[in-house]
Amino acid sequence: MRETKALRAKRGQAVFERLSREYPEAHCALDYTTPLDLLVATMLSAQCTDAMVNKITPTLFARCKTARDYLDIPREELEKIIFRSGFYRNKAKNIQGMAAALLERHAGEVPRTMEELVALPGVARKTANVVLGNAFGIVEGVCVDTHVGRLSRRLGLSPKEDPEKVEQDLMDLFPREQWFLLTYYLIEHGRAVCDAKKPECAACVVADLCPKRGVPRPKVVDD
Annotation says 126 is catalytic? yes
Model pLDDT for residues 87-137, shown as the tens digit of each residue: 999 999 999 999 999 999 999 999 999 999 999 999 999 999 999 999 999
Of 37, 50, 91, 126, catalytic: 126
What is the CATH superfamily name and number for domain 35-124? Hypothetical protein; domain 2 (1.10.340.30)
pLDDT of amino acid 221: 47
pLDDT of amino acid 219: 58
**Helix, strand, coil tally for the chain in percent (to 5):** 60, 0, 40
Q: Parse the chain into domains and list their residue ranges.
A: 5-27+142-209, 35-124
Name the fold adopted by 5-27+142-209.
Endonuclease Iii, domain 2 (1.10.1670)
Residue 14 has pLDDT above 80, yes or no: yes
Q: Are 142 and 179 in contact (CB under 8 A)?
A: yes
pTM, 2 dp: 0.92
Residue 29 has pLDDT above 60, yes or no: yes
Of 145, 169, 195, 208, catalytic: 145
Q: What counts of helices (H) and strands (E) characterise the chain? A: 11, 0
Model pLDDT for residues 200-214, shown as the tens digit of each residue: 999 999 999 999 998
Residue 188 neighbours by CB distance under 10 Å: 20
DSSP 47-77: TS-HHHHHHHHHHHHHH--SHHHHHHS-HHH
Annotation says 145 is catalytic? yes
